[in-house]
Each structure stands twice: as structure tokens, then as C-alpha cells.
Amino acid sequence: MGVLLGMAASKRGTLDPVISKMLFLHIPARHPATYPELELSPLVQASALLGVGLLYQGSCHRLTFDHLFMLYLFPPRVGDV
């Protein structure tokens, strides 16, 4: 959790693609259907979401906002991911 948040905070607002991939790896809803299922703690997932918010802060990146906002409104049910 600390590494995810620390890396995102150090690159805040930069949209760094390497950090972005690292964070999205910890958000199962963003995995493709063929991706193997991972057991991730809800705290790690929440840290990754917060890190994405820091990384994309002030960027007006509409596609990422729309996806994460829909994830917030309609969280995946158990078995959907």
C-alpha cells in the first residue's frame, strides 16, 4: 500500500504510464477477461484507486474519470470480476 501511494504521490498529476500500469494492475475491474484472477486485499485496491486519483490529478482525462466513476457508482459484484 505504501509503495503504491508513495509512487503515485511522487508523480502526482503527471500521468506517468509506468506508474499507471502498476496501479491498474491492482484494480481487478480494469483487468481484461482473459487475465488470471488475483486475490487482492480491498485495502490494496483502495490504495490503487487513490493512487490513480493522485496520478491523474488535474489532467481532465475523461476516459479514466468515466471508468472510475462508473466503478464507484456500480461496484462489481462477487463473481463478476
pTM for the complete prediction? 0.75
What is the pLDDT tens value at each position of the chain, 81 positions in all? 899 999 999 999 999 999 999 998 888 877 777 888 878 888 998 899 899 989 988 888 778 778 777 777 776 665 554
pLDDT of residue 19: 95
Distances (CA, A) of 18 to 5, 36, 71, 73, 80: 14, 21, 22, 27, 27
**Ranges of each domain in the chain:** 2-73
Q: In the structure grid, which three cell numbers stand for residue 31, read together? A: 483487468
pLDDT of residue 73: 73
Cα–Cα distance, 50 to 26 (Å, whole number): 11
pLDDT of residue 3: 93
Cα–Cα distance, 77 to 33 (Å, whole number): 15
